[in-house]
Amino acid sequence: MLKLAIQKSGRLHDDSMRLLKECGINISNGVNKLKTEASNFPLQVFFLRDDDIPQYVEDSVADIGVVGENVVYEKNKSVDIVETLGFGRCRLSIAVVRGEQYTGVQSLHGRKIATSYPFLTRRFLSENKVQADIHEISGSVEIAPGIGLADAICDLVSSGSTLLTNGLKEVETILHSEAVLIRNKNFNDAQVRLLNKLLFRIHAVKKARNNKYILLNAPNDKLDEIIGLLPGMKSPTVLPLADKGWSSVHSVLNEDEFWEKIEQLKTAGAQGILVVPIEKMIV
Ligand code: PRT
Ligand code: ZN
């Protein structure tokens, strides 16, 4: 049995639950409980505050956990990051009052910086040989300059709208973060086997998310050119259509190059292009 810690409520909760579901792991939605058990996988799920997850994983109270890299690095516990999960993306940045002149990190010298990330902020400042006064607060960091508590802040940013509405501008990015799977450092063989089983499923889910299945009709005299545009898992599948002179081509396209490829395929003579999501992808 593996014990997994996920956030009880908050920004990472829904995506963590969705990941488990996409991995085919059924857990009764017991978020009001402290823990629950999967019905079809040897997994126990603990619902915790995200800040506590690295400590619990270090102490083996949980074997693995889903948490933001920002929290993993801030807490600086002895755990291993085993997989990035592709959600909860944000960055930890320093922001100053918008009208203020900022000419580089030295501008922070002697200033007061409010943050919930004292460890990472202090490390960044000392790496840059800047001496500033760090004021630790646990929430609503963005209002600190407005109420005269600090000159600058160091906080998480995703869209940037919180900074904007509070009259602040982002000047330094300390860390880029996303949700990760962490594990305790001392696993026995059985735990390693279970973790690998879970990782096999997570890889299939991640791959499927990044890829689309594409079907199109191609005139036979354009087949070579069209096939040349498609990567496929091995090579594209080509089937003859009832209509002589035409073929149906099936392949897999990466999300990143998707729109560009569609344009090229159309220009090359492809018609009736169908694009469908992939549920799982095992390579
Ligand atoms: O109760 P618990 O302690 O578990 O939750 P929490 O309140 O500490 O954390 P929560 O749920 O807010 O965030 C959990 C994790 O989500 C964080 O540790 C990050 O890894 C990740 N994440 C991703 C974010 C954001 N994006 C984010 N934008 N966490 C917080 N924010 C906040 C930020 O602090 C600021 O107040 O959103 C605001 C900025 O957002 P924008 O879009 O206006 O820039
Ligand atoms: Zn928290």
Domains and CATH numbers, the chain: 2-87+178-208 (3.40.190.10), 90-177 (3.40.190.10), 211-277 (3.30.70.120)
For residue 48, give every residue at least 6 positions away whose Cβ sits within 8 Å of its Cβ, in sequence order, or none.
5, 6, 7, 8, 56, 62
Dihedral, CA atoms, 25, 31, 35, 38, nearest 10 degrees? Answer: -20
3-state class of 245 per DSSP? coil
Nearest-atom number in ligand 1 for the CA of 162 is 43
Residue nearest ligand 1's atom 42 by CA:
159
pLDDT digits (tens, 9 = 90+) for 193-222: 999 999 999 999 999 999 999 999 999 999
Distance CA 154, CA 120 (A): 9
Q: Give me the pLDDT at residue 255, please.
A: 86
Q: Which of 50, 52, 115, 175 to probe ligand 1 with, by most ligand atoms within 8 A of CB?
A: 50
Binding-site residues, ligand 1, Cβ < 6 A: 7, 10-12, 49-51, 68, 70-71, 88, 90, 142, 155-162, 177
Helices marked H in 10-78? 13-22, 53-58, 69-75
Q: What is the mean pLDDT of residues 99-106?
A: 96
Q: Which of the four pLDDT bands, split at 50, 70 and 90, describes residue 233? A: low
The angle that helices 13-22 and 189-209 make with each other, rounded to 10 degrees, is: 100
Nearest-atom number in ligand 1 for the CA of 10 is 11
156 CA → ligand 1 middle, Å: 7
Nearest-atom number in ligand 1 for the CA of 89 is 23
Q: What is the mean pLDDT of residues 146-153?
A: 97
3-state class of 208 per DSSP? helix
Q: Let me know the angle formed at the C-alpha of 207 by 201 and 212, rounded to the nearest 5 degrees.
A: 130
Distance CA 86, CA 165 (A): 27
Distance CA 271, CA 218 (A): 6
For residue 5, give the ligand nearest its CA. 1
Kindly state the percentage of the chain with pLDDT values over 70: 98
Q: Let me know the angle formed at the C-alpha of 247 by 241 and 251, rounded to the nearest 5 degrees.
A: 120
